[in-house]
Amino acid sequence: MLPEGSLLGDAAWERRHRMVVGVGFLEAAFVTLVALVHGFPVLHSVAEGLPVLGFTLIGCSTRLGRKGRSAATSLALVTAAALLVHVWNGQIEAHFLFFVNLSLLTAYQDWLPFLLALGYVVLHHGLAGLIDPEAVYSHASGREHPWRWAFVHGGFVLAACFASLLSWRLSEQALREPLTGLPGRALLMHRLQSLRSQRRPRPLAVLFVDLDHFKVLNDSRGHAAGDELLASVAERLGCCIRPGDVVARMGGDEFAVICLGVEDHELAWEIGERLRVAISQPVDLRGESFVTTASIGIAVAREGEDAEMLLADADAAMYRSKAAGGDACSIYDCEMRERIMERHRVERGLRRALERDELEVHYQTVVDLDDGRPVGVEALARWRHPEEGLIPPGNFIQVAEASGLIEPVGEFVLRRACADFAAVRGGRETLDAATLSVNLSARQLSRPGLVETVASALEESGLEPGRLCLELTETALIGTADGPVRALAELKRLGVAIALDDFGTGYSSLSYLKQVPLDLVKIDRLFIANLGSDPSDEAIVRAVIGMAGSLDIHVVAEGIETAAQADRLRELGCPLGQGFLYARPAPFAELENLLDCLSPARAA
């Protein structure tokens, strides 16, 4: 199979073009020198090298673009070879430069300069052989049949370039993804950059495709099954696109599609839906039917938008689809750009906050609903911005999770909270059995050194492991592999308690209560807010309390704001609770006073 051509990246192309231009200047001087050696007058010798010099200088002009510049240098090199044959009176040795120069032109990995030079060879040998046979051919047969030998020479040159063409082909294959045979990220970006850098860019849309829960398949059925699914998805995407469109694998379970001629959102949406439906069809994996879905982000190119921005926009839209639960298409809009810019602003500020020690830990008490006695506290991250003041977690935790900063933020909260709680418990007999709850993110849960980090924080603070409870959400357990489950088991062996936070709001599965070594579940405030007025919420709360009691798992109700809610929870048998009715999150200095002042009478 022949090389495709025009796939070389801009930086590599510029380096190779500078090399070819340098050769053009050298050959202009070389032709002049050979003419002088063969007895031509000085002016005539200089004139022999001028065409080569002229074409080379044209090839230096950046106004022509890649095609025009490479065409000019191609003409420079083959003209140099033709003039060398002329001044050398058609000697066979002079023709050798045609072979060298055409092999050199394959460095562009573009058919235009190569075929232009090959056509030049045939036309030169044919036309010049008719006009002045002795100046081209040194044998009688060539002088008698110039066109026949013109095509023979063209064939010889093409055959001599076979190794260079093969290297060109192998270079292009290296840019393709071996599993699916699709272009990789580099090829897609080159194609997109070429389309967007045209004087009048063609309308187009970019679709970014990410398979939902692909890690679950890899973990449950092995990487071989995952590879089969990726190959199947690649084939389906290829069948859905139109001629001229491009499908590429960006890496992992991500694909991208360039759709040409798309300038309105409605058509882009229709294409995205067609891809989504095709991907969601069942696929046979080693005799078993498997259904996957995809989150798709769509960006329609706007005036002045370069390739990087366009791909980033499609990627951002894909994350909106992912956040909506997957198996969906989302189109990028201006509001999304503003949210992304805000997210980047928060991320930069959060990085500085970690460096400048701007983060704080606030605490909210957990109480016994029967008598209001404090039985523990939950540690909550806060950011005290030097200009914006105290920033609540809802404004930065999601950014921290998306950027990976949740790991240093989470470790800071863990270490600071352990130290604070160990200090506040000192000398308070009423808090001997109290526990400290610290939230654990999905990233932290999958981190290899989690158990060691927790053990280190406990050792440094002097806090007993049995007084620490790590809270994780249901979402953090989605697709949980053996590694994180083993980490939770090791934490249990260490003596640390495990809690399931926001129970009932994530991808609820009762299997978590069996698979994960839980000590406590926390009923989300969503079900507490309408307690007493919404029978459904009350039924859910009653069911959770009963189920947890049967499994010997403690229950905490979150978000208690009224005495009526507290009374109803007591009636339903909920033992523990937290919320604004009892205390708002407070810094460490206020926590000591709060624990001292909080009493059964006050709580009631």
The per-residue pLDDT for 190 is 81
Mean pLDDT of 487-513: 78
Round to whole Å and give the CA distance between 419 and 379. Answer: 12
Give Cα separations from 238 to 233, 241, 246, 350 (angstroms): 9, 6, 8, 42
Residue showing tokens 């991500």: 254
The per-residue pLDDT for 511 is 63
Mean pLDDT of 283-305: 87
Q: Residue 326 has which token pair?
A: 């997957």
Q: Residue 308 has which token pair?
A: 């990087």
The per-residue pLDDT for 378 is 94
Considering only residues 430 and 363, tell me which one the structure prediction assigns the higher pLDDT: 363
Mean pLDDT of 563-569: 93
Which residues partner with 39 through β-bridges?
none
The per-residue pLDDT for 469 is 95
Round to whole Å and give the CA distance between 212 and 9. Answer: 31
What pTM value is reported for the model?
A: 0.56
Mean pLDDT of 395-420: 91
Contacts of 205 (CB under 8 A, 6+ apart): 258, 259, 262, 267, 268, 271, 298, 299, 300, 301
Considering only residues 571 and 186, tell me which one the structure prediction assigns the higher pLDDT: 571
Residue showing tokens 């062996």: 493
Least confident of 40-49, 438-447, 501-510, 557-566: 501-510
Q: Packing angle between helix 450-461 and helix 406-425, nearest 10 degrees? A: 30
Summarize pLDDT for 207-249 with one digit per residue, the tens.
Answer: 999 999 888 887 777 888 888 899 999 999 988 888 888 899 9
**Where residue 451 falls among pLDDT bands split at 50, 70, 90?**
very high
Round to whole Å and give the CA distance between 38 and 298. Answer: 66
Round to whole Å and give the CA distance between 177 and 103. Answer: 27
Mean pLDDT of 118-127: 86
Least confident of 38-52, 93-107, 362-376: 93-107
Round to whole Å and give the CA distance between 225 and 479. Answer: 16
Mean pLDDT of 416-426: 87
Considering only residues 361 and 430, tell me which one the structure prediction assigns the higher pLDDT: 361
Classified as helix, coil or strand, 140 is: helix
Considering only residues 588 and 599, tell me which one the structure prediction assigns the higher pLDDT: 588
**Where residue 477 falls among pLDDT bands split at 50, 70, 90?**
low
Mean pLDDT of 367-372: 90
Q: Is residue 402's pLDDT more than 60?
A: yes
Mean pLDDT of 519-544: 89
Do 49 and 67 form a contact (C-beta atoms < 8 A)?
Answer: no
Round to whole Å and give the CA distance between 558 and 279. Answer: 40
Round to whole Å and give the CA distance between 240 and 234. Answer: 10
Considering only residues 502 and 577, tell me which one the structure prediction assigns the higher pLDDT: 577
* Residue 509: HSE in the Cβ half-sphere, 13 Å Cα cutoff: 14
The per-residue pLDDT for 204 is 93
Q: How many CB atoms are closer than 10 A to CB 479?
A: 17
Task: Domains for the chain: give ranges and CATH numbers.
Answer: 10-172 (no CATH), 175-332 (3.30.70.270), 344-598 (3.20.20.450)
The per-residue pLDDT for 405 is 92
Phi, psi of 574 (to 5 degrees): -80, 125
Mean pLDDT of 190-201: 81
* Strands laid side by side in the 328-331 sheet: 246-251, 254-260, 204-211, 294-300, 328-331
Of 500, 449, 448, nearest in space to 475 by CA: 500
Do 275 and 294 form a contact (C-beta atoms < 8 A)?
Answer: yes
The per-residue pLDDT for 79 is 92
Q: Is residue 369's pLDDT more than 90?
A: yes
Mean pLDDT of 56-76: 89
Q: Is residue 457's pLDDT more than 90?
A: yes
Among 216-230, 503-517, 562-576, top mean pLDDT goes to 562-576
User: What b/e readout covers 288-301, taking b as 16+ CB neighbours within 10 angstroms?
Assistant: eeeebebbbbbbbb
Phi, psi of 590 (to 5 degrees): -80, -25
Mean pLDDT rounded to a whole number for the chain: 85
Round to whole Å and give the CA distance between 265 and 254. Answer: 22
Give Cα separations from 377 to 237, 287, 437, 554 (angstroms): 52, 52, 6, 15
The per-residue pLDDT for 483 is 56
- pLDDT > 90 in the chain, percent: 37
Round to whole Å and give the CA distance between 295 and 372. Answer: 47
Considering only residues 201 and 299, tell me which one the structure prediction assigns the higher pLDDT: 299
Give Cα separations from 365 to 309, 370, 453, 466, 593 (angstroms): 46, 15, 25, 18, 12
**Where residue 599 falls among pLDDT bands split at 50, 70, 90?**
very low
Burial of 235 (0-12, 13-18, 19+ CB in 10 A): middle
Burial of 240 (0-12, 13-18, 19+ CB in 10 A): middle
The per-residue pLDDT for 475 is 67
Of 327, 392, 335, nearest in space to 359 by CA: 392
First to last CA, the chain: 82
Q: Is residue 299's pLDDT more than 90?
A: yes
Q: Is residue 45's pLDDT more than 50?
A: yes
Mean pLDDT of 476-494: 73
The per-residue pLDDT for 290 is 85
Q: What is the largest CA-CA distance in the chain?
A: 120
Do 458 and 418 form a contact (C-beta atoms < 8 A)?
Answer: yes
Round to whole Å and give the CA distance between 586 and 595. Answer: 11
Torsion of CA 447, 449, 452, 454, to 10 degrees: -20
Do 83 and 66 form a contact (C-beta atoms < 8 A)?
Answer: no
Burial of 287 (0-12, 13-18, 19+ CB in 10 A): exposed
Mean pLDDT of 589-601: 63
Q: Residue 126 has which token pair?
A: 């044919």
Strands 389-391 and 554-557: unpaired
The per-residue pLDDT for 430 is 62
Q: Is residue 350's pLDDT more than 90?
A: yes
Which residues partner with 260 through β-bridges?
204
